[in-house]
Structure 1
Amino acid sequence: MLLSTVLLQAAAGVGLSKVGAALGAGLAVIGAGLGIGKIGSSAMDAIARQPEATGKIQTNMILTSAFVEGCALFAIVACAFLIK
């Protein structure tokens, strides 16, 4: 399915670099979503085990999620530069 889409885009005159950049941006978003989901899941497990540490856990969860989202943003910007 993916190969046929790439071949159709190449036949239509779209440069393969644009297709690759779009795939890279998509993978960055999917990876960030999975990472942030894992962070949230682990934080909820930790809060369930130690409710008294909720503040520290939430702070670390938010910081880590922000770092993951920042890395994804850098990847998307890099892919956007490849398109132009």
Structure 2
Amino acid sequence: MRFYCGAEGGSWGADAGHRSVSDGVYSRAPEVPYVKERRGRAVKKLLLVALAAIGGLLVYRQIQADRAEQDLWTEATDSVPTGS
């Protein structure tokens, strides 16, 4: 915390690092740290869900390919032909 005297008629007081509107400067309020933290967590969760979905899709496609190959081998090695 620092103390200052405003340039355009301000008064002595504690300053959190921002000038007041009465000094003629409009300043934006600082972003609250926990908002950035929550936003970061949300992005991480979204990325985790997206990676899980992509991983699930890859596993599903591999299972389907394995089943198709197994069906092909079963048909090729079946001792009784179909249609007999």
TM-score, length of structure 2 as denominator length: 0.46
Bigger strand share = 2
Bigger helix share = 1
Higher normalized contact order (CA 8 Å, seq sep 6+, divided by chain length): 1
